[in-house]
Chains A and B, each alone.
Chain A
Amino acid sequence: MDFNDSPEEAAFRDQARKWLADNAANHKATTANGRRPNSPEHMAEAKAWQTRKAEAGYACITWPKDWGGGGGTPIQQVIFNQEEAKAGVNYGYFTIGLGMCVPTVMAFADDDTKQRFVGPAVRGEEIWCQLFSEPAGGSDVAAARTRAVKDGDEWVINGQKVWTTGAQYSDFGILLVRTDPDVPKHKGLTMFWIDMHDPAVEVRPIHQMSGGSEFNEVYFTDLRVKDSQRLGGVGDGWKVALVTLMNERLAVGGASGPDYKVVMDLARQLGSLKDSQLRDKIADWYVASEGLKLTRFRTMTALSRGQTPGPESSIGKIIAANQMQDMANTSMELEDQFGIINDAAVAPLEAAFQQSLMWAPGLRIAGGTDEILKNIIAERVLGLPGDVRVDKDVAFKDMPTGR
């Protein structure tokens, strides 16, 4: 056991580091205190960075060179991600598009469509979003109600999506819609790619409980798309969606925000670091977050040996999100009455713990709720049976809907 790169990996890391040192000097993905500005200037900078990466073969390292990728290995992608994060230039705008949407386009679109879209996405010229979740279908994505009706060579789409990350700055999206409500729900879905700039598409930011608006609602009012924009067969939308979702666990990142060291610093300043209950918690947080980091090393080891990583990575978000919530709450209690202050100018650490407390509920839900992730571990990792299904043989239109 060791943590060293193999000679080939070390050579690649060296080469990536040198390239980053030569090219990343004028770039910075976050401000000094770790915030992403989300401004048009920031976006322009991110796009320029992505283009530069693509020219050097560092965008989509595992994709074939013919498609603008680097023709490299998964372990090289992981190594580059690490070095890019160290250099502070992982902008994040392209993760969903390149991690989930464009692979779906590559798997299901015709050659012309692929030629049109893959290159610009790799170079960061066009950004993609994923339009799956709906008000009536979050964990149950296949319950989508957004309706597409065939009209000649076109489809007319009406309905609403929700929790769409990046819809406000995306150029294209992949959209899961219901094309046949008379068959059971998984069988009546179809996938399309759409132009997010179409006037029939309206993006409204969601005012989240955290105060921010990273996610959006997207409304479709008589949006007309060509049948040639279909990805996969009519009624095959669920199969296509599964290909997209397989990549989601890799695309949704872990928790950011203060770690156990920051709690220790705060406790030291406040004179409560000797509190034995707090020390117990610090030990637990350390063990869990180290466990997570080390589990990633095991995943890397599998990649490094040319194996497909096991299911270890599925535990990450459950641990990280819950720990973030617990750390934030504990730290606010350390601040005592002062803990309620959410004013960055007054609260310790620019109110970082108060912000994590308000962000953590979202992280426990996004990209698979704690409960869905536990089902995934139980069914796909441990091989336990799926739930009893009451919706398999019922026409979608006859399913009870509730609120």
Chain B
Amino acid sequence: MNFDYSDDQKFLKDEARKFLDARCSTAVVRGVLDNADRSYDETLWKGVAEQGWLGTAIPEEHGGLGLGHVELCAIAEELGRAVAPIPFASTVYFLAEALMLAGSDEQKAKWLPKIAAGEVIGCFATSEGPGPVTPASVQARVEGGKLSGTKIPVTDGDIADVAVVLANEGGRAGLFLVELAGVKREVLKTLDPTRSVAKITFEGTPAERLGPAGEGFALTEAVFDRAAVLLAFEQVGGADRCLEMAKEYAMGRYAFGRVIAGYQAIKHKLADMYVKNEVARSNAYYGAWALNTNAPELPVAASAARIAGSEAYWFASKENIQTHGGMGFTWDVDAHLFYRRSRQLALVAGAPKVWKERLVGQLERRNAA
């Protein structure tokens, strides 16, 4: 049995934490939060690229480090813990994973080295309005290699150089690679301003297909599965940090003559957080294993990781505020950074509700088989 990070992976994770402690304090996060003109922290993004993290799971032939996905998960956990205000997920979990999953040799050779070097920012554009993405909701069209339509919201859409877009071509859904230079983009106000969101309007923009025609939804699900595992590690990292913050505050705050950490109302709240966080971590590890080995269990494992990660982070981030009392409701205390990010992560690859339905559908088929 070997169901944990290896020593090398732990070392990598420790190094990532040291780096982010030094380069991604919550002051850095607030530098993006408090400035409506900034979509991400460019300095941190450069630093992360220099560390090689963007190419962690990209093969060496394409300029990456050629490590496995478990290594990428370890980095994701630390980025989540630090609430890093950079387009890492959009570029690595979505664009790079979509390319490695469905890209032609040419597409991989063109884009993966640039991703690994930090020269391009990516995004993944599926939604066009409120509600889950379904065949009926996709109106974007490709005709003669030109894409028309509107995608909203697109995380990092305002700063991305290239998008992977779900659109119909000849009545069949497909994924398309689209360069965004000159494309009309509008920044939207978002609940988590440390991760920017845009509306993109395509008006005959050149688009090349990524993966087979007619496979748009299957590929979208496959990309979501891969992203879900990596996002789950960000969720676990954030949820663990919330538990630490709640503990630190409760150990130092006195009421009625003693530290509030000694009251069972607080102790049991924190114990509940711990239980949810451990369930989320274990499910995330299983997702990491499935992703790393490309196991047939990946869709089920990714669903469980996403559901558990979303639930744990939501619970820990809201109860962290509650533990802080009135201070927790102020702008100055960091608790709301995590509360915001917990919602961003829970919605960016489809809401947990959709994943629960997907999970049970898979369990039905599995049990019937």
Residues of A within 8 A of B (CB): 1-6, 9, 75, 260-261, 264-265, 273, 276, 279-280, 282-284, 286-288, 290-292, 294-295, 297-298, 300-304, 312, 315, 318-319, 371, 373-375, 377-379, 381-388
B54 on the interface (CB 8 Å rule)?
no
Q: For B307, give its contact among A264, A283, A298, A382 (CB under 8 Å).
A: A283
Task: Identify which of residues 254-304 in chain B touch chain A, using a CB-to-CB cut-off of 8 Å.
Answer: 258-259, 261-262, 264, 266-268, 270-272, 274-275, 278-280, 282-283, 285-286, 288-289, 292-293, 303-304
Q: Which of B1-9, B155-163, B164-172, B208-216 contacts A (4 or more CB under 8 A)?
A: B1-9
Task: Identify which of residues 347-366 in chain B touch chain A, using a CB-to-CB cut-off of 8 Å.
Answer: 353, 355-357, 359-360, 363-364
Whether the Cβ atoms of B282 and A294 lie closer than 8 Å is yes
Look across to chain B and name the residue whose beta carbon is closest to the beta carbon of A387: B262
Distance of A382 Cα from B249 Cα, bound (Å): 13
A384-B267, A385-B259 as given contacts; A297 in contact with B279, CB under 8 Å: no
Whether the Cβ atoms of B264 and A387 lie closer than 8 Å is yes
> In whole Å, how far is A13's beta carbon from the nearest beta carbon of chain B?
11
Look across to chain B and name the residue whose beta carbon is closest to the beta carbon of A288: B279
Q: For B282, give its contact among A260, A273, A295, A303 (CB under 8 Å).
A: A295
Mark contacts of B157-190 with chain A using CB atoms, 8 A cut-off: 1 yes-contact digit, 0 otherwise. Answer: 0000000000000000000000000000000000
Whether the Cβ atoms of B267 and A1 lie closer than 8 Å is no
B134 on the interface (CB 8 Å rule)?
no
Whether the Cβ atoms of A301 and B367 lie closer than 8 Å is no
Task: Identify which of residues 228-268 in chain B touch chain A, using a CB-to-CB cut-off of 8 Å.
Answer: 243, 247, 250-251, 258-259, 261-262, 264, 266-268
> In whole Å, how far is B232's beta carbon from the nearest beta carbon of chain A?
11
Inter-chain contacts of A300 with B (CB < 8 A) = 1, 3
Distance of A287 Cα from B308 Cα, bound (Å): 6
Residues of B within 8 A of A (CB): 1-6, 70, 243, 247, 250-251, 258-259, 261-262, 264, 266-268, 270-272, 274-275, 278-280, 282-283, 285-286, 288-289, 292-293, 303-304, 307-308, 311, 353, 355-357, 359-360, 363-364, 367
A1-B4, A295-B282, A385-B262 as given contacts; A375 in contact with B359, CB under 8 Å: no
Q: For B304, give its contact among A290, A304, A373 (CB under 8 Å).
A: A290
Inter-chain contacts of A303 with B (CB < 8 A) = 1
Inter-chain contacts of A75 with B (CB < 8 A) = 1
Distance of A318 Cα from B2 Cα, bound (Å): 25
Inter-chain contacts of B304 with A (CB < 8 A) = 286-287, 290-291
Inter-chain contacts of B274 with A (CB < 8 A) = 315, 377, 381-382
Whether the Cβ atoms of A312 and B360 lie closer than 8 Å is no
Q: Can you show 16 pairs from A to B with CB atoms below 8 A apart?
A: A2-B2, A5-B1, A75-B1, A287-B279, A288-B279, A291-B304, A297-B3, A301-B3, A318-B275, A374-B267, A375-B267, A378-B268, A382-B243, A384-B262, A385-B261, A388-B258
> In whole Å, how far is A128's beta carbon from the nearest beta carbon of chain B?
31
Q: Which of B251, B282, B285 has the most CB of A within 10 A?
A: B282
Q: Which of B3, B259, B272 has the most CB of A within 10 A?
A: B3
Given A283-B303, A294-B282, A298-B285, 18 more A-B residue pairs with CB atoms under 8 Å apart are A3-B3, A6-B2, A264-B364, A282-B363, A287-B308, A290-B283, A291-B308, A295-B282, A312-B278, A312-B282, A374-B267, A374-B271, A384-B251, A384-B261, A384-B266, A384-B267, A384-B270, A385-B262
Q: For A294, give its contact among B2, B271, B285 (CB under 8 Å).
A: B285
Inter-chain contacts of B261 with A (CB < 8 A) = 384-385
> In whole Å, how far is A251's beta carbon from the nearest beta carbon of chain B?
21
A-B contact count (CB 8 A): 154
Whether the Cβ atoms of B3 and A1 lie closer than 8 Å is yes
> In whole Å, how far is A302's beta carbon from the nearest beta carbon of chain B?
7
Look across to chain B and name the residue whose beta carbon is closest to the beta carbon of A293: B282
Whether the Cβ atoms of A264 and B363 lie closer than 8 Å is yes
Inter-chain contacts of A381 with B (CB < 8 A) = 274
Whether the Cβ atoms of B307 and A315 lie closer than 8 Å is no
Q: For B1, give its contact among A301, A374, A379 (CB under 8 Å).
A: A301
A279-B356, A385-B262 as given contacts; A378 in contact with B271, CB under 8 Å: yes
Whether the Cβ atoms of B3 and A291 lie closer than 8 Å is no
Distance of A385 Cα from B260 Cα, bound (Å): 9
Distance of A3 Cα from B3 Cα, bound (Å): 6
> In whole Å, how far is B200's beta carbon from the nearest beta carbon of chain A?
32
Whether the Cβ atoms of A3 and B268 lie closer than 8 Å is no
Inter-chain contacts of A319 with B (CB < 8 A) = 275, 279
Whether the Cβ atoms of A1 and B308 lie closer than 8 Å is no
Inter-chain contacts of A386 with B (CB < 8 A) = 262
Inter-chain contacts of B308 with A (CB < 8 A) = 287, 291
Inter-chain contacts of B258 with A (CB < 8 A) = 388
Distance of A280 Cα from B364 Cα, bound (Å): 13
